Amino acid sequence: MKRKEDDAIFVGIDLGTSRSSICASSGTREWIESYVGWPKDFISLKVVGKPVLFGSEALQNRLSLELCRPLQHGMIKEGIDRSEEAVREIIKHLIELTKPASEQKIFAVVGVPADTLKTNKLAIRNAVSEFVHSLMVVSEPFAVAYGLDLLNNSMVIDVGAGTTDFCIMHGSIPTEDDQKTILTAGDYIDEQLFSYLNEKYPNSKFNKNMVRLFKEKYSFVGKVPEDIKVEIPVDGKPVMHDITNEIKRACESILPAIVETTTEMIARFDPEFQVKIKNNIVLAGGGSLIRGVREYLQSALKEYGQCILKSVDDPLFAGSDGALKLAQDMPVKYWEPL
């Protein structure tokens, strides 16, 4: 008898507000920034040479494009621009990167923020129905936990761009009560940093994409051994700007809500197992790359008893790796045919 793996390809997709990644049973591991762009007119089409561009290529050519970042707080923007079409294009592009054989069945697990699981499930289903044969939509922190075999007495804190997601694992599929989403995450840091820099340097010219790149390169909390200086134009001339304090304030702005939500979730869990949970917390998502964030959170949480935090080795693929593993392990009865 043929195994289901013999005539199918399994994929795990982390559909993120800032970045989206895919891992496939064929060995493919790819990611793109979650941007889609279409040429504005025939001149733009001649310049870019493609009917649709993705990720960094779309950003680099954004002045020639109708640019769309279709996800907000981890959800597809409803009725805004071409968001639903953009999500379909991202899904199609990611799946094409796996190079499935003609007529090969595709089983996909897609990760979404914990609190949007119900509302996002139909939108995701509509976006991927053209490209896969069976689908499962799960929460992103659950996918991370599954990939790391953190299936019992553990907690995942996934700090993404649009949301920070929390999930407690206790030896079974997590329920709604075991998961939580808050909106203080990477995009919130960008907004704060943009505001702080505008306040400090009102005559300097910069945009939100520049601010995002500053954050991604220099982000830190606590102490940093060197001053952070970047080049920003003033009246058309490049000028060095010290942004050390602004980076620190912006990055630390998300931490109180993360600490509060973590302690609330642990406090309402079975008291006999709370100590085990506190000693097995894993930090994931792009926010886990902020310098000093793991140590800062671990120190802040010690007020509530000893806590041990670890960070995932590969934040970019932790969600899609876990989704792929889940896809390969999942019994047939759990799949939703399309």
Listed by start position, the domains of the chain span 4-146+317-337, 150-184+254-311, 186-252
Kindly give the pairing relationship between strand 19-24 and strand 8-15: antiparallel
Backbone angles phi, psi at 159, to 5 degrees: -95, 100
Residue 143 has pLDDT above 80, yes or no: yes
Burial class for 201, CB neighbours closer than 10 Å (0-12, 13-18, 19+): middle
4-146+317-337 belongs to CATH 3.90.1300.10: no
Q: Name residues whose C-beta falls within 8 Å of residue 328's C-beta, 6 or more positions apart in sequence.
A: 5, 10, 25
Share of the chain above pLDDT 90, in %: 71
pLDDT tens across 291-310, in order?
999 999 999 998 888 899 99
Q: Is 185 exposed, middle or buried (0-12, 13-18, 19+ CB in 10 A)?
A: buried
Choose among 319, 329, 327: nearest CA to 9. 327
Q: Which residue has the higher pLDDT, 332 or 12?
A: 12
Kindly report, residue by residue over 235-249, the tens digit of the pLDDT: 989 999 999 999 999
Domain range 186-252, its CATH number among 1.10.10.1100, 3.40.50.720, 3.30.420.40, 3.30.360.10? 3.30.420.40
Superfamily name with CATH number, domain 150-184+254-311: ATPase, nucleotide binding domain (3.30.420.40)
pLDDT in tens, 39-84: 999 999 999 999 999 999 999 999 999 999 988 876 777 665 688 8
Strand partners, 23: 12, 29
